[in-house]
Amino acid sequence: MTASGQTGVTLGLERIVWFLAHVLPSDPRDKLRVVHVAGTNGKGSVCALVSEALAAAGYNVGTFNSPHFLEPYDAVRIQNTAIPATEYTRLQSWIRTLDSTQTDKLSIFEQTTVLALWWFAQSDVDVAVVEVGMGGLRDATNVFSSVRNGIGSLVQCICPVDEDHLGIIGNNIEEIALEKSGIMRPGSWIVVANQERSEAFHKIRQEAHRTSPGRIINVRRQPTTDIHVPNFVIDSSDVPGH
């Protein structure tokens, strides 16, 4: 799983960041507001719930899941409708053609991440809900900055963490929790799910307080918060039509 190249998983951000910033006609990140979801268990369910809640509130929502459900294209959705298969194939071919000019080629997952972000930006979604593929810190989805002028990673969710991909993203639960906490951004909201593993909870909470103190929401069996969050909404001045 650590093999490099198009058929393997290659952790690291250099290739995809370069591709987004310098190979595409424009950088899709410049248009995206993101809810980023990491963890071991429940990521897909959280992405679905967040996407449905935002859509019900009137936002145009893109969702990128990893892995896909039945077909590769159903991992990329807007308003819970998958990208058309023909459009997916067209964009996939275009991205692969662009990538063929590069010395250091994107992995398949990196190509799919680029495809999703490009389609969301071109479709003018209000919010993109993005599920981490593996880990967090070095995952291909971890390409978003802190919020500037309403654009960037608004919220990061850390779902329950366990010893997944042991030896690849970490050698113990604390190292794995630290890797997954790598999606956190200063000044953002950080949502920490109930953690069965106390070592994971303490490491995640430590990183959250270090990264964005005062903007942490702890979700437990009986939800509590570090701070009061009155009527949390996406700033309407930053979202066309709201």
Residue 131's alpha-carbon distances to 27, 44, 47, in angstroms, are 20, 7, 7
Residue 234 has what pLDDT? 57
Residue 164 has what pLDDT? 81
Residue 171's alpha-carbon distances to 35, 135, 138, 206, in angstroms, are 28, 12, 15, 19
Residue 165 has what pLDDT? 80
Phi/psi zone of residue 42: left (φ > 0), alpha (ψ -120 to 50 degrees), beta?
left
Nearest to 152 by CA among 242, 235, 65: 235
Residue 219 has what pLDDT? 85
Residue 107 has what pLDDT? 95
Residue 236 has what pLDDT? 41
Residue 222 has what pLDDT? 52
Residue 74 has what pLDDT? 92
Residue 154 has what pLDDT? 97
Nearest to 51 by CA among 40, 41, 60, 42: 60
Residue 235 burial class via C-beta count within 10 angstroms: exposed 0-12, middle 13-18, buried 19 and up: exposed
DSSP per-residue string spanning 84-97: PHHHHHHHHHHHHH
Residue 13 has what pLDDT? 96
Separation of alpha carbons 70 and 104, rounded Å: 30
Nearest to 148 by CA among 17, 34, 22: 34
Residue 88 has what pLDDT? 97
DSSP per-residue string spanning 46-97: HHHHHHHHHHHTT--EEEE-SS-SSSGGGGEEETTEEPPHHHHHHHHHHHHH
Residue 67 has what pLDDT? 76
Residue 242 has what pLDDT? 46
Residue 235 has what pLDDT? 53
How many Cα atoms within 13 Å fall on the side-chain side of residue 77? 23
Which residue stretches of the chain have pLDDT < 70? 1-9, 221-242
* Interstrand relation of 224-225 and 216-218 (parallel, antiparallel or unpaired): antiparallel
